[in-house]
Amino acid sequence: MADRSTSVRTATRNLVLLGRTAVRHAQDDPMLLAVQTLRRLPAPVRTRVASALLSGGSPTSVRHALAHFLADHPADARRSLAGAEPSSRVARRVGAEIDIVLGGTAPVDATPLLRARSAWARGEVSEAATVAATSPRRGGQRYAAVLASERDLLTPGFRLPARPARSVASGSELSGIRPLHLLINSLPWTQSGYSLRSHAILKAQAAAGMTVEAMTRIGYPVVVGLPHARDVDVVDGITYRRVVPRSLAATPAERLEQTVEAVVERGRKFGATVLHTTTHYPNALTAQAAAESLGVPWVYEVRGQLEKSWLARRPPEDQARAATSERYLLARARETEMALAADHVVTLSTALRDDLVAQGVPAERISLVPNAVDAALLDRSETPVEARAALGLPEDGFWVGSVSSIVDYEGFDVLVHAVALLRSEGLPVRLAIAGDGVARPGLSRLAERLGIADAVVLPGRVPPSEAVRWHQALDAFVVPRLDTEVCRTVTPLKPIEAMALGRPVVASDLPALAEVVESPGTGLVAPAGDASALAAALSRLAADADLVARLGAGGHRFARTRTWAAQAETYRAIYEGLGVARGS
């Protein structure tokens, strides 16, 4: 009965929090809320809405632009907007909202709120805050406060205040290495490379004798639309605690202060001996303040460079300007500042470590902990034909592809073009990409336009239990990332898993990929963005079974050096180097 009562109270609180958040957004900017709500509908629902919108009206209209936007066809949405002449205020506003999301600029006669959001999206931080402050509406003033807070978080030297804890842990049962991980999201609610790496680290550390626990960002997962979520989730024996207050503070800095308070209180009860967080800088600011309160060291794990990811999402014609924007330059400097402030830095690739060193972070304070695999994966031996049969796929042909989030910078459109080239030469090449993302609908349309739709399988997001089999169904695993700053320094997790399963990897010739493909002899590389070169590399594999076997074996050997159990010992050495006792 007590558990049911607690569950009811939690669900009620979550619904209240979600409701308050929705009401605030509706009061501040109802049109933005409407567009965002439509954009977050399940894909099948968005597809039906898009089809209905396309059934009438002009191809160059806001109506058609909204349809293409909902269907994840950004290029078509831009074309519809370019020729649109909306006659109503609502249509003009919807068109402006879509244009801003797609990288455009708000018109000069737009409301201050819209112009402020446009400035923020372009990276003009101070301009955004200044323009928002001119809004006569209460929602505009609230947004101005949010932007001013965002600017504070980016300002060099800004720190969150330390919070005294009200509880103190004691007792011998709290001895040993006890890392408390501060995460953005986690299983079971988010399935991504980020959450899977976090879970693998936590499991490996626990198996190595450490006592571990994790906390996620404030409001998660309720504020992403999951009001039925619990305060604590236990996955594979790993505890994930949520920071879900009855109401969220008004500004980002105040919400981080709420988080610090929760982390300090839990850290005392848990007996944390080290705090371990991941990029980006808001997490680092939280860990810094909480660690100071707890009197423990903190580790900053630089898994990526979000300012470069933001840059990669800007329209190609705007990226040079965006790279000199206030937002990009401040975020880049802020990340360096937080890496210097941490007691130790962990990163995933040699390229990323070199970039940090170039920014001024001492090399001796950086440890490399690359993506790794569960040792059990090394013993999986299903052949591609067997895996394809189990998945109900055609067993014949030479299958290439990936298991990944499907976003533009992954370069899967280049891979589709490469497969089309090979099939035009009469080679029986087939393509499978398991995963989902905003670029997936565009890949389907590209395959249809190139006449290879019957040779392309895009199953969408697959459960983790099936992901391994999709790896195994491939004869070659492909990572065709584009030559963007973020892709040059960040190594994804999935190709290491493919190597563990004995599959050769074909990747773009970028530093973060070449160091795990070309150097150890686990596959082939091709110039990024070059469909012909990628097709040539795949053709070489399709024609040489001995080469496939040799590279697959090389990948398997390489993966044996990259197990999570081994990485846990690296983390132990890092923690002990910071004075965290091994304990009993």
pLDDT of res. 5: 62
Q: What's the pLDDT band for 497 if we cut at 50, 70, 90?
A: very high
Could you read off the pLDDT of 139-195 as tens digits, one per residue? Answer: 889 999 999 999 999 999 999 999 775 655 444 456 799 999 999 999 999 988 899
Q: What's the chain's average pLDDT?
A: 92
Could you read off the pLDDT of 358-378 as tens digits, one per residue? Answer: 999 999 999 999 999 999 999
> 569 in a domain, yes or no?
no
- With a cut of 80, say whether residue 433 has pLDDT above it: yes
3-state secondary structure of 249: coil
pLDDT of res. 171: 40
Mean pLDDT of 379-394: 95
- Residues 213, 276, single domain; the answer is yes
Q: Which of 352, 368, 384 is the last residue of a domain?
A: 368
Give the residue from 553, 200, 575, 192 showing the smallest Cα distance to 371: 200
- Residues 234, 315, single domain; the answer is yes
Q: How many domains does the chain have?
A: 3
The pTM is what? 0.90
Mean pLDDT of 559-566: 95
Using CA atoms in the order 126, 131, 133, 138, what is the torsion angle rounded to 10 degrees?
Answer: -130
Instruction: Copy the structure tokens of residue 374.
Output: 């569960």
- Residues 181, 150, single domain; the answer is no
**Which range of residues forms the domain containing residue 210?**
174-368
pLDDT of res. 365: 97
Percent of the chain whose pLDDT exceeds 90:
75
Give the residue from 379, 402, 421, 425 showing the smallest Cα distance to 475: 402
pLDDT of res. 27: 67
- With a cut of 70, say whether residue 214 has pLDDT above it: yes
- Residues 248, 381, single domain; the answer is no
> 567 in a domain, yes or no?
no
Mean pLDDT of 477-491: 92
pLDDT of res. 134: 95
pLDDT of res. 41: 82
Give the residue from 109, 103, 136, 137 showing the smallest Cα distance to 122: 103
> 169 in a domain, yes or no?
no
Q: Directed axis angle between helix 326-341 and helix 281-294, to 10°?
A: 30
> 325 in a domain, yes or no?
yes
pLDDT of res. 29: 74
> 7 in a domain, yes or no?
no
- Residues 125, 57, single domain; the answer is yes
Mean pLDDT of 512-526: 94
- Residues 402, 542, single domain; the answer is yes
pLDDT of res. 424: 97
pLDDT of res. 6: 67
pLDDT of res. 163: 77
Angle at 431 between CA 427 and CA 436, to 5 degrees: 165
Q: Which CATH number fits the domain that encloses residue 324?
A: 3.40.50.2000
pLDDT of res. 172: 43
Instruction: Copy the structure tokens of residue 499.
Output: 């190597």
- Residues 183, 281, single domain; the answer is yes
> 8 in a domain, yes or no?
no
> 568 in a domain, yes or no?
no
Q: What's the pLDDT band for 531 if we cut at 50, 70, 90?
A: very high
